[in-house]
């Protein structure tokens, strides 16, 4: 009997949440100063982002039932992230290289690999997330696990050094001048079977 009202109410709530998610993402980009807008907008964008995240319950305690309920719904509907792919600019690519040190002094180089291209895309997605600030707390653990996945293939390795580089691709003009990509090391970790050391 009330199916229209119920559907309309769901429609309103659903798209209200989606609006908040999308604009939180856009305001975050502006607040980061990564857009063509003047830095005068940064502070307003930060405030607007706060309003949007407040609507999503993200300002409440992590154990707040409303916050959890909204987060569960957003994930279930696949609308937890905004749609600013490759925006405002295409992000830099990242490369993870492992130096494998053997007992006899040999050094080999290896990268984490997947069998299929579809899975390789996912690995790239993970590598691009590693330098992000929000993954600071899990970065070392993630790199350690990636290192362990390589280690399983080379059990004779004594020590392993993981280095994440930011890859700077040449622009069109630079490419025409014969320039190739350059690598900027971002961080590296040393791992051994018994202990691991951060550099």
Residue 18 three-state SS: helix
Query: What's 89-147 look like in SS3?
Result: CCCCEEEEEEEEECCCCCEEEECCCCCCHHHHHHHHHHHHHCCCHHHHHHHHHHHHHHH
24 or 100, CB closer to another protein? 24
- For 81, the enclosing helix (H) or strand (E) is none
5 or 103, CB closer to another protein? 5
Read off the DSSP letter of residue 40. T
- For 198, the enclosing helix (H) or strand (E) is strand 196-198
Residue span binding another protein (CB under 8 A) among the ranges 23-31, 102-110, 153-161, 190-198 = 23-31
Q: In the complex, what is the shortest distance from the CB of residue 125 to another protein, in angstroms, rounded to a whole number? A: 5
**Candidate list 2, 40, 61, 90; residue touching another protein; CB under 8 A:** 90
Judged by CB under 8 A, the chain residues 145 through 174 that form the site for another protein are: 145-146, 148-149, 169, 171-172
Binding site for another protein (CB under 8 A): 3-4, 7-8, 11, 14-15, 18-19, 22-23, 25-26, 29-30, 34-37, 62, 67-69, 71-72, 75-90, 93, 112, 114-126, 129, 135, 138, 141-142, 145-146, 148-149, 169, 171-172, 175-176
């Amino acid at each position: 009997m009330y199916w229209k009202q119920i559907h309309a109410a769901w429609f309103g709530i659903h798209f209200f949440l989606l609006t908040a998610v999308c604009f939180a993402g856009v305001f975050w980009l502006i607040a980061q100063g990564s857009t063509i807008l003047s830095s005068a907008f940064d502070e307003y964008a930060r405030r607007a982002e706060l309003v949007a995240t407040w609507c999503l319950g993200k300002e409440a305690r992590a154990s707040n039932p409303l916050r959890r309920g909204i987060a569960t719904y957003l994930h279930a509907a696949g609308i937890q992230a905004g749609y600013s792919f490759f925006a405002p600019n295409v992000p830099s690519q990242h490369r993870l290289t492992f130096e494998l040190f053997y007992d006899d002094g040999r050094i080999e180089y290896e990268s984490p690999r997947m069998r299929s291209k579809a899975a390789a895309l996912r690995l790239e997605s993970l590598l691009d997330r590693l330098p992000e600030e929000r993954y600071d707390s899990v970065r070392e653990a993630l790199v350690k696990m990636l290192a362990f996945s390589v280690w399983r293939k080379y059990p004779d390795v004594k020590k392993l050094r993981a280095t994440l580089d930011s890859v700077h691709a040449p622009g069109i003009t630079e490419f025409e001048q014969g320039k190739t990509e350059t690598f900027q090391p971002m961080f590296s970790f040393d791992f051994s079977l018994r202990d691991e050391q951060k550099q």
